[in-house]
Amino acid sequence: MHIGLIGLGKMGFNMRERLRRGGITVTGFDRNPELTDVSSLDELVAAVPAPRIIWVMVPAGAVTDNVIRELSGALQEGDLVIDGGNSRFTDDQAHGALLAEHGISFLDCGVSGGVWGLANGYGLMVGGSDAEVARAMPIFDALRPEGERQESFVHVGDIGAGHYAKMVHNGIEYGLMQAYAEGYELLQAKDIIKDVPGTFTAWQKGTVVRSWLLDLMVNALQDDPDLARVAGYVEDSGEGRWTVEESIANAVPTPAITASVFARFASRQDDSPAMKMVAALRNQFGGHAVRPARQDPA
């Protein structure tokens, strides 16, 4: 099988490599001339034999929109586009409809595994028709870990369902990380606890909280036992926010996941306007002293 792959960033670059190791011929295209196999989208389309499969692995939103639009013009009836990025499920539905107007098929595929996926394989969640999923199965089999297919691959539903499941996966991931992190803070705040990294290490086998994320925490604490080198400043990507939005849209209470999203927002604030107001209010009714705002160093 010979496919095209658009986007050779942190994820796409590794996936090209894993696909090749799995026996798939891959022509990759990226704007970065040091990474790309071809110099243009047209060249990519020319290089891949029809009926083509093109895997798209670029940032969600406008960039993916543009690539899908270009592909809708460049590809031919019978070709198949797979979006393996982190698109919102509603975007998938629009992309699938656009491509369908040109007789081009579409699958959305949520991909999990991060930088470890090259070695371990990726977990895959796919949305689209049975026929197209079957057609792309050699790709999925090359990307996922060895072993039982059902433990790393699922055909979740129609177009959009793959990214919906990936969105929920990431929402859960936010919640899991927050739970571990709160526990970490409780341990490191308590004077009677003498070995925080050792405690996390000892949870790896046998306990109820053992997990891959826990193993990564142990790695992080081995490198930097007090996390002295890292600031408590955390970005968030679309999936966490969309998970909260879907909670709202479907009237599903998600207090733990939402708390994890809010904690990230707060982590990026130098000072909280809300807490300035609480401080001001306490001063108003109780005469409680306020701490003056930090002077700007400028």
Catalytic residue set: 166, 173
Residue 262, number of CB atoms within 10 A of its CB: 14
**CA distances (Å), origin 213, targets 97, 173, 204, 221:** 37, 9, 10, 12
Position 137 contacts a copy of itself (CB under 8 A): no
Complete DSSP assignment for 119-165: HH--EEEEES-HHHHHHTHHHHHHHSPSS-GGGTEEEEESTTHHHHH
Position 287 contacts a copy of itself (CB under 8 A): yes
Which of 5, 124, 133, 142 contacts a copy of itself by CB under 8 A? 124
Position 298 contacts a copy of itself (CB under 8 A): no
* Minimum distance of a copy of itself from residue 137's CB (angstroms): 14
* Minimum distance of a copy of itself from residue 11's CB (angstroms): 9
Chain residues 35-74 in contact with a copy of itself, contact rule CB under 8 A: none
Position 220 contacts a copy of itself (CB under 8 A): yes
Q: Which stretch binds a copy of itself (CB under 8 A): 24-32, 54-62, 71-79, 257-265?
A: 257-265
Contacts of residue 75, defined as CB under 8 A and 6 or more positions apart, other chains included, come to 45, 52, 54, 81, 99, 102, 104
Chain residues 79-118 in contact with a copy of itself, contact rule CB under 8 A: 89, 112-117
Comparison of 50 and 277: residue with beta carbon closer to a copy of itself: 277
Q: If we measure between CA atoms, which residue out of 206, 100, 82 comes closest to residue 137?
A: 82
Chain residues 180-209 in contact with a copy of itself, contact rule CB under 8 A: 180-190, 192-195, 198-199, 201-209
Position 175 contacts a copy of itself (CB under 8 A): yes
The token duo for 121 is: 């394989």
Comparison of 21 and 288: residue with beta carbon closer to a copy of itself: 288
Residue 236 to residue 158: CA distance in whole angstroms: 27
Position 222 contacts a copy of itself (CB under 8 A): no
Residue 194 to residue 86: CA distance in whole angstroms: 41
